[in-house]
Amino acid sequence: MQDHNGISKSIDPDLVRIMAIICGATVANLYYNQPLLGELSREFNVSVRNIGLVSTLTQIGYGMGMFFIIPLGDILERKNMILKLLLASVISLILFASSKNLNWLIVSSFLVGFTTVIPQLVVPFAAELSAPRERGKVLGTVLSGLLAGILLARTISGFLGALLGWRSVYYIASILMIVLYVVVSKSFPKNEPKLIESYKNIMISLKDLVKNEPLLREASLSGAMMFGAFSIFWTTLIFFLESPIYNMGSEAAGLFALLGISGVIAAPIIGRLSDKKSAKFAVGVSIFFAVMGFIVLFIFGNRIAGLILGLILLDLGTQSGQVSNQTLVHSLSPEARNRLNTVFMVAYFTGGALGSFAGTYSWNLYGWKGVCTAGLAFLTVAVINHVVHTKKILK
């Protein structure tokens, strides 16, 4: 935010907290369905494999929304975009809640994902309004809200689904989006774009940004590999817990997810480290934590204490890495923040998809040691990427 003399001012801490809440409450829409899939398969009398399309289409919708909608934030007023997307989310959530058959459910799943890209507009908005000296801290706080939303969505959905039925989860979520609409309309400032350009040209410019911004390429590859390693772990954890080593079930996996609170707590701290030292330094620290997490999982994963410690280190590294990399990305071209965020997040989720595949493949062939080896392989790419780019800067 700037005063009338063009001097950067600190963003209102209350606005930062509101942005964090909005990120968490909206991103939760993506994850409500996961604990409800069993109930959905029974109600619509379809196989578990077919009902899995609900989660898949939600994620595909989110990816397509990021690619096609988020770049518009560089040429349209952001507050108005967020308000329109909140209304679109209300409609898609109600459509999901009122589904009468599987096809209706799948289409509305896609729409829920497509309209739930609001956090990816809020994050560049927060970066735009914050002074450079505090940008890491601000982004850390906003992203901690997003991480909390991802963490708590499954727990809340499972509880409400068991108590009131799966439809209630989505009706309540739609009411929450209406409340957020009122909050945004009253609390968010207008944020006019710095760029006057056509939609076609900004989409074409995504390729130019990748070509001309080496820090964007570095952050995107680093983020993709770290989230890929993270996905390797979480995709296979349930198989490991159900194995004779632990003889646990999906309830235990849900409880393990709550340990991810370490990443939520760490996000603002790592953001401040990015401001004090540098975002690149914080990325290096984050990769170190993630590597140590998988080393602990490889050696001591057969013991519950080792599994918990490895999970905490991995989660700490992954979430901190996202904050640090996004701080790095948003320090680049101010007029292209939304497109920069688009490139980073598309790469990030691509890495996650590759990790999910690699995790399942490694588990089937080599068990838990194979999973940990695959995770370390992904992180090795992140380490090499970080070291090579750091050496280039030092030369």
3-state helix, strand, coil split of the chain in percent (to 5) is: 85, 0, 15
The pLDDT of residue 249 is above 70: no
pLDDT score at 379: 97
Judgement on whether residues 206 and 150 belong to the same structural domain of the protein: no
Residue 278 has pLDDT above 80, yes or no: no
d(CA 277, CA 46): 53
pLDDT at 32 over 90: no
H/E stretch holding 66:
helix 48-68
Q: How far is CA 230 from the centre of its chain?
A: 12
Where a domain ends, among 144, 169, 193? 193
Task: Indicate if 153 and 206 belong to the same structural domain.
Answer: no
Task: Kindly state the average pLDDT of the residues 365-370.
Answer: 94
312 with 165, same domain: the answer is no
Residue 7 has pLDDT above 50, yes or no: no
CB within 8 A of 145, min separation 6: which ones?
17, 19, 20, 21, 22, 23, 24
Residue 260 has pLDDT above 50, yes or no: yes
Residues across the chain: 395
Residues 104 and 232 grouped into a single domain: no
Q: What are phi and psi of 8, to 5 degrees?
A: -65, 130
Q: What is the DSSP-derived secondary structure letter of residue 99?
A: -
The pTM of this model reads: 0.78
The better pLDDT of the pair 7, 300 is held by: 300
* Helix (H) or strand (E) run with residue 344 in it: helix 337-394
φ, ψ for residue 197 (rounded to 5)?
Answer: -155, 160
Residues 341 and 258 in one domain: yes
Range of weakest confidence among 30-34, 125-129, 251-255, 305-309: 251-255
Position 10 pLDDT exceeds 90: no
3-state secondary structure of 2: strand
Same domain (yes/no): 159, 220: no
Banded model confidence at residue 252, pLDDT cuts 50, 70, 90: low
One-letter identity of residue 125: F
pLDDT higher at 374 or 62: 374
The DSSP output letter for 24 is H
Number of domains making up the chain: 2
pLDDT band at 369 (very low <50, low <70, confident <90, very high): very high
Tokens at 335, concatenated:
């007029």
Q: Which of 167, 193, 219 is the last residue of a domain?
A: 193
pLDDT tens digits, residue range 168-203? 999 999 999 999 999 999 999 988 877 788 889 989
Specify whether 263 is located in the same domain as 127: no
Instruction: Please tell me the predicted confidence (pLDDT) of residue 225.
Output: 96
The pLDDT-based confidence of 395 (bands split at 50, 70, 90) is low
What is the pLDDT, as a whole number, of residue 4? 43
Q: Which residue has the higher pLDDT, 242 or 126?
A: 126
Residues above pLDDT 90, as percent of the chain: 39
Residue 6's pLDDT band, with cuts at 50, 70 and 90, is very low
Q: Identify the CA nearest to 71 among candidates 345, 341, 338.
A: 338
Same domain, 138 and 25: yes
Whether residues 252 and 391 share a domain: the answer is: yes
Verify that 32 and 180 share a domain, yes or no: yes
Q: How confident is the model at residue 24 (pLDDT cuts 50, 70, 90)?
A: very high
DSSP state letter for 245: T
Per residue in 310-322, is it b (16+ CB within 10 Å) or e — as a string?
bbbbbbbbbbbbb
What span, in angstroms and rounded, lies between the C-alpha atoms of 316 and 264?
8
Domain co-membership, 272 together with 145: no
Rounded Cα distance between 56 and 40, Å, is: 14
What is the per-residue pLDDT for 22? 96
- pLDDT for 226: 95
Q: State whether residue 301 is helix, strand or coil.
A: coil
Residue 279 and residue 225 share a domain: yes
pLDDT in tens, 54-104: 877 888 888 889 889 999 988 899 999 999 999 999 999 999 999 999 899
- Select from 322, 258, 260, 253 the least CA-distant residue to 287: 322
Copy the structure tokens of residue 245: 């080593």
- Extract the tokens encoding 131: 């002074």
d(CA 23, CA 150) in angstroms, rounded, equals: 10
Task: List Cα–Cα distances, 346 to 63, 64, 142, 224, 259, in angstroms.
Answer: 7, 9, 19, 9, 26
pLDDT at 229 over 90: yes
Closest CA to 177 of 29, 307, 311: 29
Q: Is 118 helix (H, G, I), strand (E, B) or coil?
A: coil
Q: Which domain covers residue 234, as residue numbers?
A: 197-395
- Compute the distance between CA of residue 383 and CA of residue 185 in angstroms, rounded to an integer: 43
Quick: pLDDT tens for 152-177: 887 788 788 888 988 999 999 999 99
Chain-wide mean pLDDT for the chain? Answer: 86
Last residue of a domain, one of 164, 193, 222: 193
Q: Say which CATH number the domain at 124 has.
A: 1.20.1250.20
Confidence of residue 5 (pLDDT cuts 50, 70, 90): very low
Contacts of 326 (CB under 8 A, 6+ apart): 123, 139, 143, 219, 341, 344
